[in-house]
Structure 1
Amino acid sequence: MIGRFQWWSLTALASMVATPVAAESILFVGNSFTFGAHSPVMRYRPDLVRDLNREGIGGVPALFKTFAEEAGQDWQVSLETAGGRDLAYHYEQKRKEIDRRWDVVVLQGYSTLDAQRPGDPTRHAEAAGLLTAMLRRANPRVRVELMSTWSRADLTYRTASPWRGRPIAAMADDLAAANAYAVRRYPEISGTIPVGQAWNRAWAERVADPNPYDGTAFGQVDLWTWDQYHASAAGYYLEALVVFGTITGFDVRRLGEQEKAGIDLGLEPRLIGRLESIAHAEVTAVRP
């Protein structure tokens, strides 16, 4: 005979088994730096994600989903991206697509913060604040993260800009500082994702070559693609690792050198492992 406590325990267990835990939802909002322009990442596994613009993009969100599956995590991944656009555009033109309940949202802004005033964080921060307020009305507990992107070689070595002639790491540091300013100004923003700092670490550790205009050093990789502006497959892969590690807390080194997306993209297994180590080190770094 089953006692009352035993009967309750069996009933509760059956209830838990019969009711699956809902997957967490994550939305990526950004531009070409999120959808993987000029690389095979752009069309990587679009079947894994939901493109709210119905353009058949996989991009960095599809890499995130692949990592999640390998890590045994259940995420519903969506994206809303538009090339050459900043966060203000998404707020002004794409509210219909993104104004709904999400558990996590990753916001990626324009590569120079402001197309008209490069380096000025004002427009970027204001748009991030408006988007966060809108998202929090749909879900007061939503986690909103601002992605800090990488230094552009073209603007550092060749094209007139606030960063020309400065160290290659300077632009990424300025973009990270702008996002930190946005978080201070709008504390409803949860935090930042240090993608650009991971690129800086890859250069410092001689995994990647910091100047594509004088050739790529033997044994190192170019994180940019042919325009020295957007990322190569390796650069976007590092971006995805940093995003996944930051959002989930998962140690991306556990994905291993045979990680599926990296192999699909044609990355050398040893490079996959080195990029995983760099991403983990940056995600877990203690910041002032």
Structure 2
Amino acid sequence: MPAQLTALPSVRRLLGGATLAALAAGAGAAPATTVLFVGNSFTFGEPAGAPAPSVKAYRPDTVTDLNGAGIGGVPALFKTFTEEAGLHYDVSLETIPGAGLHDHYHKKLGTIAKAWDLVLLQSYSTLDAKHPGNPDMLVKYSGLLAEAFHDKNPKVRVMLTATWSRADQTWKPEGAWYGKPIAQMAVDVRHGYDAADAASPLIDGVIPVGEAWNRAIAGGLADPNPYDGITAGQINLWAPDNYHGSIHGYYLEALTVFGAVTGKDPRSLGASERAAHELGIDPATATALQRIAAAQLAQPNAH
């Protein structure tokens, strides 16, 4: 199986030829690439009360939580994948429950505005809590944060993580996407992130997590509607609240981020991948999710 994806223009912008060559040769002797994840529960893991095992509590000792809350989350999954791939990343996170990027800018700028090599920004799940689907706040504050990070390190790369369709926003009458296909919210969210990417020359692309979820649903791996029960042989990407991710949903997110950031094919992690084993994801499902992430990253601009 290929060890590296070949159709990732955003990754090539992110890393550059020299860095890709260094990765291919082995980065053990190079300084660690510093990575900061900024987001909310769509980055740090499932809500309180979700069944164990917990992505939020996964290997918090392997990453640095700048808020001191002891969270592992998707950043710790990413860290595990990079170790398995023989890469050297120093991973940090700063997360606020239910927050948009404006919250991080106004409340945590002094904490996060440092000289990072790479920053991943993830905003509120509906783009705007008060005006679902409106990308204006995302566009404004992703640009402002990108400027703040570039002030600290002109070579920093800033990427955006576009999130998934919420089942509660699609299948419930009070949802902003009620009556639309389950895939539509993720597509609309991606368009919002694309607008933010286009608005700032300091942003280096969008990671298509929500579209990877759409692909898992369209391909029959994941059930599209948790409200009518989970079809036998399918997985549920959502947590019991039908809002956050399940361990499968967050695992798919982490795989997509891993592939987009490193240029490595998620399928190279294989059936014996450690995080899947530790979270209780069976090998067949783990490899199926790896295939989904790889397929989505091979055509990152598809909506």
TM-score normalised by length of structure 1 = 0.92
> Which residue is equivalent to 1:37?
46
Q: Per the alignment, in what secondary structure is the counterpart of residue 140 of structure 1?
A: coil
1:54 aligns with 2:85: no
Q: Is the 8 A contact 2:207 2:300 kept in 1?
A: no
Aligned pairs for 1:87-236 (under 5 A) are 87-236=101-250
> Which residue is equivalent to 1:24?
33
Q: Distance in 2 between matches of 1:185 and 1:54?
A: 33
Q: Per the alignment, in what secondary structure is the counterpart of residue 78 of structure 1?
A: strand
Choose 1 or 2 for highest CA Rg. 1
Q: Distance in 2 between matches of 1:162 and 1:125?
A: 20
Q: Does 1 or 2 have the higher relative contact order (CA < 8 Å, sep 6+)?
A: 2
Number of matched pairs:
270
**Most deviating of 34-43 and 230-239:** 34-43
What one-letter code is carried by the residue in structure 2 that aligns with 1:25? T
What one-letter code is carried by the residue in structure 2 that aligns with 1:29? V
Kindly provide the CA deviation profile for residues 230-279 of structure 1, in whole angstroms up to 9, marking residues without a partner as x.
Answer: 00000000000000000000011010011000110000110000000000
Q: Per the alignment, in what secondary structure is the counterpart of residue 227 of structure 2?
A: helix
Q: Is the 8 A contact 1:45 1:58 kept in 2?
A: yes
Report the CA distance shift for 1:159/1:127 in structure 2 as closer, same or farther (over 3 A).
farther
Kindly provide the CA deviation profile for residues 201-233 of structure 1, in whole angstroms up to 9, marking residues without a partner as x.
Answer: 000110000000111111110000100000000
Q: Is the 8 A contact 1:118 1:161 kept in 2?
A: no
1:83 aligned residue (85, 97, 100): 97
What one-letter code is carried by the residue in structure 2 that aligns with 1:75? Y
TM-score normalised by length of structure 2 = 0.87
Please provide the CA RMSD for this pair.
Answer: 1.2
Q: Is the 8 A contact 1:87 1:128 kept in 2?
A: yes
What one-letter code is carried by the residue in structure 2 that aligns with 1:28? F
Q: Per the alignment, in what secondary structure is the counterpart of residue 170 of structure 2?
A: helix
Give the drift of 1:159: 4.3
Instruction: Flag as ranges the 4+ runs of structure 1 deviating above 6 A.
Output: none
User: Tell me, which stretches of 5 or more residues in structure 1 are unaligned?
Assistant: 1-18
1:245 aligns with 2:254: no
Q: Is the 8 A contact 2:135 2:192 kept in 1?
A: yes
